[in-house]
Structure 1
Amino acid sequence: MTPYIQVVTTVADRTVAERLAAHLLEQRLAACVQITPCTSWYRWQGAIEQGEEMVCTVKSRRDLFPELCRAVRALHPYEVPEILASPVVDGGESYLHWLEQELRPAKED
């Protein structure tokens, strides 16, 4: 298992997605943010809703998750934002090396 994660969140429009991506990249909490459109169906306050959203898939590292999560919450317009992290079990050596170089340096214990 690698120390890397993919974090997913959804937002209502491309403008918010791009603002979030830019902030995470500027802060070096993400090496890459992929933005793709989707249709979401969900239950909210007792009713079934659906809407067009943008999925932001963030490439990062596990130790950066608490700060990344705080940054997403601070910029996110939803009352209850989706913020889900999945481990990256393995990956191409050159990609993982690039990923590490683009993130904040890991803190030494």
Structure 2
Amino acid sequence: MQNEFLLVITTYPSQEQAKTLAHELVEAKLAACVQISQAVTSVYEWQGQICEEQEFALHIKCLTHHYNAIEQLLSKLHPYDVPELIALPVTQGLPAYFDWIKETTQP
């Protein structure tokens, strides 16, 4: 099971755009579930300026072998020049939940 599952994190500037990506990922069977947070405030430096924006965080539950396709889809749909895209390996969890991820991401 090690390195078989990922939690992929990204952010979007609007809830509507976040929902669009979430639906695309689940419908394409690249993710079993995508959780979209309430608005969060992000403070960051971009092009030499300190920025403060509201964003919506997405937590994408998927199989490791779907990461490249997720990255390609996100790169195509994301409005940012350099979107946040972080993948964390999931090594522990409820076996039934992992089974569900596998089942729902099969073509």
The SS at the match of 2:44 is strand
Give matches, 1:1-109, under 5 Å.
1-36=2-37, 37-104=39-106
The SS at the match of 1:104 is coil
The SS at the match of 2:30 is coil
TM-score, normalising length: structure 1: 0.93
Alignment length, in residue pairs?
Answer: 105
The SS at the match of 2:60 is strand
| Preserved CA contact (<8 Å) 2:3 2:64 | no
For residue 104 of structure 1, report the CA deviation from its aligned partner.
Answer: 2.8
| Preserved CA contact (<8 Å) 2:34 2:61 | yes
- Taking the aligned partners of 1:2 and 1:99, their CA distance within structure 2 comes to 14
| Preserved CA contact (<8 Å) 1:10 1:56 | yes
Structure 1: runs of 5+ lacking an equivalent: none
| Preserved CA contact (<8 Å) 1:40 1:50 | yes
- Taking the aligned partners of 1:89 and 1:47, their CA distance within structure 2 comes to 38
For residue 70 of structure 1, report the CA deviation from its aligned partner.
Answer: 0.2
Runs of 4+ in 1 over 6 A off after TM superposition: none
Identity of counterpart residues, as a percentage? 36
Structure 2: runs of 5+ lacking an equivalent: none
| Preserved CA contact (<8 Å) 1:2 1:90 | no
